[in-house]
Amino acid sequence: MSGFTISRRGMLAGSAMLLASTTMPTLGRAQTPKKGGRLVLAADSEPRNLNPAIVASNGVFFISSKIVETLAEASFDGKDGLAPRLALTWEGAADGLSATFKLRDGVKWHDGKPFTSADVAFSALQIWKPLQNLGRTVFKDLASVDTPDDLTAVFKFAKPTPFQLIRNALPALSSVVPKHIYEVGKIEDNPANNAPIGTGPFKFGEYKAGQYYRLTKNTDYWGKDEPWLDEIIYQVLPDRTSAANALEAGEIQLAAFSAVPLADLDRISKVPGLRVISKGYEGLTYQLVVEINHRRKELADVKVRQAIAHAIDKDFVVKTVFLGYAATATGPVPKNDPQFYTADVPTYPFDVAKANALLDEAGYKKGPDGKRFTLKLLPAPYFNETKQFGDYLRQALAAIGIDAELVNNDSAAHIKAVYTDHAFDLAVGPPVFRGDPAISTTILVQSGIADGVPFSNQGGYKNDALDALIAKASETLDTTARTDLYKKFQKEVAADLPLINVAEWSFISVASDKVGNIANNPRWAVSNWADTYLAG
């Protein structure tokens, strides 16, 4: 890769997972767009699988969304919050048994083969439904995909499926891969998973472990006069301080997904030539939750769960752990979701006296040492904030006589302990809200989830009424009625506290003034960047 170098100065081993903000203002600058150029940005991780049709996660999307496209993308002003990509239109049948997609003409795969409805049918039936981490739920009743012509795909469902859900899932769960590349051999072992072939504005160039990913311009892209950039380089910088230093030195032009530490944002916003941007992540809301093992006798008592909720000072957590770059949570749907959120739920103001009284009522009196009982607390290791909140929660519980033993594991050990072995009493988790409660949200509280499924209800909570509500919502076709059911869902969760929602946060970008068209859709960091440019 000729001509690309970057200093390794300041690179320290460490964790640079995603942070966030919902409050930092966007600072704009006048720019003069120009064609060409190389955008160099920070990457804090190196995904093992770059196929977003299989692994629907932000770490994969960050790179692969420029290569592999979806049927539609999130939009600030598009109808139903969507903009066309590989599909031009989408329409659901009144009976919920089919959805018809009209596809874009003249699209080619990066190897020159034509994109057709056969690729959509193959991706949906062979990958999204059986293999994709989130699609296995959304497309569970997909029975077939008819392809009456090369530009029409008709999804047929065995059971009525809300089109609202399918529509909301399109930006994250509809990455289309080429049938001719994947139809032979085992999909999970296909080399294209690590060197994707897509229809996007950029082609996969090369990957050097521990160094960089390189994407190159697709000169045959369907978008007129796009992409603007010639090349995108993801420089592997696994420490957030390194990203801040590289920005200030001009070695990189962008650090997305809060790659710059929160504590540095105020200072770096004053650096000439750099800007701090909070927009562009509205569709990627992380939630800080206390996961609860209901197999533990004390925690099976709702009064104990209410006491723990009252013991948590959410405002303090937002101000101290997140430095103000977050919002307090009221339930399983974030406040920034206009479609489903309701504030009409039970709340638990910070009240240590109330918490102590509830524990006394539940029969767990303090012993001579001031302790009521001991719990094992496992903070998720993915973010500094989840670990910091674990420390805070231990102190908050001590104030009401609960002794919490902190257990800090690496990622693999944490997932095994919480989601397979159930070797926890409380855990700190960061699930993601993806635009619809049926996508990675209801799974946090519904019963019957198999052991070993990450970010799901592995606490043994079972509530027949809540399960029935979730099931009814999954089959309700009327959009208004379905939305109302999910508002009721929020009330039920907040009342019975199968888990405790504490805070919710999105992300921050720091960019050079020269980078244009940043944050122009709600999933900007994981969109295709066809119109992103470097100013002259």
Q: So what's the pLDDT on residue 20?
A: 33
What pLDDT does residue 48 have? 84
Instruction: Give every CB contact of residue 465 below 8 A, 6+ residues apart in sequence.
Output: 492
290 and 426 in contact (C-beta within 8 Å)?
A: yes
Q: Which domains occur in the chain, in start order?
A: 68-191 (3.90.76.10), 200-282+508-535 (3.40.190.10), 285-505 (3.10.105.10)
Structure confidence at residue 15 (pLDDT): 26
What are the Cα distances from residue 291, in Å, to 69, 288, 501?
34, 10, 9
pLDDT confidence of residue 226: 97
Residue-level pLDDT, tens digit, the chain, 536 residues: 434 333 333 322 222 222 333 333 443 444 678 899 999 999 988 988 999 999 998 999 999 999 999 999 999 999 999 999 999 999 999 999 999 999 999 999 999 999 999 999 999 999 999 999 889 889 999 999 999 999 999 999 999 999 999 999 999 999 999 999 999 999 999 999 999 999 999 999 999 999 999 999 999 999 999 999 999 999 999 888 899 999 999 999 999 999 998 889 999 999 999 999 999 999 989 999 999 999 999 999 999 999 999 999 999 999 999 999 999 999 999 999 989 999 999 999 999 999 999 999 999 999 999 999 999 999 999 888 999 999 999 999 999 999 999 999 998 899 999 999 999 999 999 999 999 999 989 999 999 998 988 889 999 999 999 999 999 999 999 999 999 999 999 999 999 999 999 999 989 999 999 999 999 999 999 999 999 999 97
Cα distances (Å, whole numbers) of residue 333 to 231, 347, 497: 38, 14, 14
Angle at 287 between CA 285 and CA 292, to 5 degrees: 155
* Structure tokens given for 48: 């093992």
Structure tokens at 464: 């027949």
Buried b (16+ CB within 10 A) or exposed e, 288-315: bbbbbbbebebbebebbbbbbbbbbbbe
The answer to whether the beta carbons of residues 150 and 207 sit under 8 Å apart is no
Please report the pLDDT score of residue 394 as a whole number.
98
DSSP one-letter code for 431: -
Q: Find where tokens 């919050």 sit.
A: 81
Is residue 238 reached through a cis peptide bond, with omega within 30 degrees of 0 on the bond before it? no
pLDDT of residue 133: 85
Buried b (16+ CB within 10 A) or exposed e, 435-463: bbbbbbbbbbbbeebeeeeebbbbbbbeb
Residue pair 196/67 in contact (Cβ under 8 Å)? The answer is: yes
Which of 514, 523, 500, 6 lies closest to 249, judged by CA? 6
Q: Which of 23, 2, 3, 451 is nearest to 279 (CA)?
A: 23
Burial of 174 (C-beta count, 10 Å sphere; 0-12/13-18/19+): buried
According to the model, what pLDDT value does residue 17 have?
A: 28
Phi and psi at residue 206, in whole multiples of 5°? -160, 165
Q: Is there a contact between 322 and 262 (Cβ–Cβ < 8 Å)?
A: yes
Alpha-carbon torsion, ordered 171, 324, 17, 529, to 10 deg? 40
Rounded to two decimals, the pTM is 0.86
**Residue type, position 184, single letter:** V
pLDDT at res. 426: 98
The tokens describing 169, both together, are 């899932």
Task: List % helix, strand, coil for the chain (3-state, nearest 5).
Answer: 30, 20, 50
Per the CB < 8 A criterion, the answer to whether 135 and 128 are in contact is yes
